[in-house]
């Protein structure tokens, strides 16, 4: 009998944390941060060559094969700098999937552009077939988001971008270390943006990284990230000065990020092994459609997702798994305002802004007839409504994977009531 109906659960033991980078923090991180504090050199530009932030940038250059990397204070800051790097601004539209953290849309608005929301497909990432009808003369860029470590279909997205002469900014906040067809995420687009916040594969507490193949994109991003950047090495840049912010990373974050970077492959090695073990065992499970990833080898393996036949069945399935002792969730519950789902991006849906004149929405350069609606991407809502997820962490033993497998089979073979 199912545990939800009063039977014995698959396991009574609580799972370890599903955190990734933070759960790997050990003495090395403590020492690295303490050494920075002891040194009293906590600002990155005191000694550029020996800076931990510079070291972290080099590690991301090596990881992605991009010749330019800029450490910034967060993933949102990385997106803002990346968009500014590409010259995105007033009057431009950027296509963003309806399933991503609200920060992706926020970054677009902060740059003076407006987000145009596209559908996702069963991979939970931007649907390459759902873009072309959204393209207008204002469309400047696509923002594919590798959600939950799942690589977007970069071949087909790049083809759409090429055909319509659009720029590509990859949001890799949740997919550090992921690949698509053997190539690192972040290196496909004109610019790639990472986050090092608490919930990410590796963490610096807060932090982000912009990577690009293009020198002028890097220069513009760097100028935006520091209000005085363009005056420090004026000979170093062909880009004229313009106003910047303070999006600098500090040395404590840089040092923490470097130690965590050293753990990236071992974290992903473990999550990918768990993911493959579970996927192989549930491939033929009746009544569920295991998640279709765009690249099973390159996927970070941090999410097991299953598509059920209906929303109510997904909700029940997640509850039944939880009763069996498995930390599962359904992705879209009407009652829970999840800011990863477009309909809960209130300031987009209602076109709100901090500006008393309502910019950028009210800019004469924007299409004033553009509207947003909580039901505008029905396919995205349908897919998310039918999806059940289980997050994976390197903290899980094989035994936890086996509990997950056993519980999925047990629940799938029972009919909902």
Tell me 227's DSSP state. Answer: T
For residue 211, the surrounding DSSP H or E stretch is: strand 208-212
Instruction: Compare residues 104 and 239 and give the one whose CB is closer to ligand PLP.
Output: 104
Q: Closest separation between CB of residue 408 and ligand PLP, Å?
A: 26
Instruction: Compare residues 147 and 326 and give the one whose CB is closer to ligand PLP.
Output: 147
Q: Closest separation between CB of residue 126 and ligand PLP, Å?
A: 12
Instruction: Compare residues 195 and 294 and give the one whose CB is closer to ligand PLP.
Output: 195
Q: Is 399 helix (H, G, I), strand (E, B) or coil?
A: helix
Token pair of 304 as six digits: 């097991």
Instruction: Compare residues 51 and 197 and give the one whose CB is closer to ligand PLP.
Output: 197
Instruction: Compare residues 11 and 391 and give the one whose CB is closer to ligand PLP.
Output: 391
Residue 175 · residue 302 · CB < 8 Å:
no
Question: Comparing C-alpha atoms, which of 254, 259, 263, 264 is closest to residue 72?
Answer: 254
Question: Comparing C-alpha atoms, which of 88, 181, 397, 363 is closest to residue 271?
Answer: 397
Q: Give me the residues that bind ligand PLP (CB under 6 A), please.
A: 74-76, 100-101, 103-104, 145, 171, 173-174, 195, 197, 208
| Closest residue to bound ligand PLP by CB | 75
Beta strands 191-195 and 167-171, pairing class: parallel
Q: Closest separation between CB of residue 90 and ligand PLP, Å?
A: 22
Q: Closest separation between CB of residue 124 and ligand PLP, Å?
A: 12
Q: Closest separation between CB of residue 81 and ligand PLP, Å?
A: 12
- Alpha-carbon distance of 124 to 382, in angstroms, equals 11
- Alpha-carbon distance of 100 to 342, in angstroms, equals 8
**Residues with Cβ < 8 Å from 79, sequence gap 6 or more?**
103, 104, 107, 108, 143, 169, 171, 193
C-alpha to C-alpha distances, 186 to 27, 63, 64, 206, 314, nearest whole angstrom = 30, 10, 7, 19, 32
Q: Closest separation between CB of residue 118 and ligand PLP, Å?
A: 15
Instruction: Compare residues 208 and 311 and give the one whose CB is closer to ligand PLP.
Output: 208
């Amino acid at each position: 009998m199912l545990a939800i109906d009063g039977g014995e659960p698959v396991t009574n033991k609580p799972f370890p944390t599903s955190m990734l980078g933070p759960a790997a923090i050990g003495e090395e991180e403590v020492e690295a941060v303490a050494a920075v504090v002891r040194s009293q050199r906590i600002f990155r530009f005191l000694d550029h060559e020996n800076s931990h932030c510079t070291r972290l940038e080099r590690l991301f250059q090596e990881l992605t094969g991009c010749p330019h990397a800029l450490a910034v204070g967060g993933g949102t800051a990385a997106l803002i700098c990346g968009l500014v790097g590409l010259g995105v601004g007033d009057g431009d539209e950027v296509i963003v999937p309806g399933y991503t953290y609200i920060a992706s849309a926020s970054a677009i608005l902060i740059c003076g552009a407006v987000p145009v929301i596209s559908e996702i497909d069963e991979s939970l990432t931007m649907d390459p077939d759902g873009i072309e009808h959204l393209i207008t003369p204002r469309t400047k860029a696509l923002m594919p988001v590798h959600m939950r470590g799942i690589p977007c279909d970069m071949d087909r997205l790049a083809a759409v971008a090429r055909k319509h002469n659009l720029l590509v900014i990859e949001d890799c906040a949740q997919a550090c270390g992921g690949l698509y067809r053997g190539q690192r995420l972040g290196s496909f687009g004109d610019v790639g943006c990472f986050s090092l916040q608490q919930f990410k594969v590796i963490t610096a507490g807060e932090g982000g990284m912009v990577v690009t193949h293009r020198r002028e994109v890097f220069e513009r991003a760097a100028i935006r990230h520091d209000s005085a950047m363009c005056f420090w090495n004026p000979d170093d840049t062909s880009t004229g000065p313009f106003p910047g912010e303070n999006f600098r990373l500090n040395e404590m974050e840089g040092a923490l990020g470097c130690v965590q970077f050293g753990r990236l492959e071992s974290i992903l090695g473990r999550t990918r092994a768990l993911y493959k073990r579970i996927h192989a065992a549930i491939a033929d499970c009746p009544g569920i459609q295991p998640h279709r990833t765009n690249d099973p080898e390159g996927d970070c393996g941090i999410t097991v997702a299953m598509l059920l036949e209906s929303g109510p069945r997904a909700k029940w399935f997640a509850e039944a798994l939880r009763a069996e002792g498995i930390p599962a969730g359904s992705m879209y519950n009407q009652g829970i305002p999840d800011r990863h789902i477009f309909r809960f991006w209130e300031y987009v849906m209602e076109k709100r802004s901090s500006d008393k004149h309502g910019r950028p929405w009210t800019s004469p350069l924007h299409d004033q007839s553009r509207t947003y609606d909580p039901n505008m991407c029905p396919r995205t809502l349908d897919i998310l409504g039918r999806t059940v997820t289980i997050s994976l962490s390197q903290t899980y033993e094989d035994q936890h994977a086996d509990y997950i497998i056993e519980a999925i089979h047990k629940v799938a073979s029972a009919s909902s009531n």
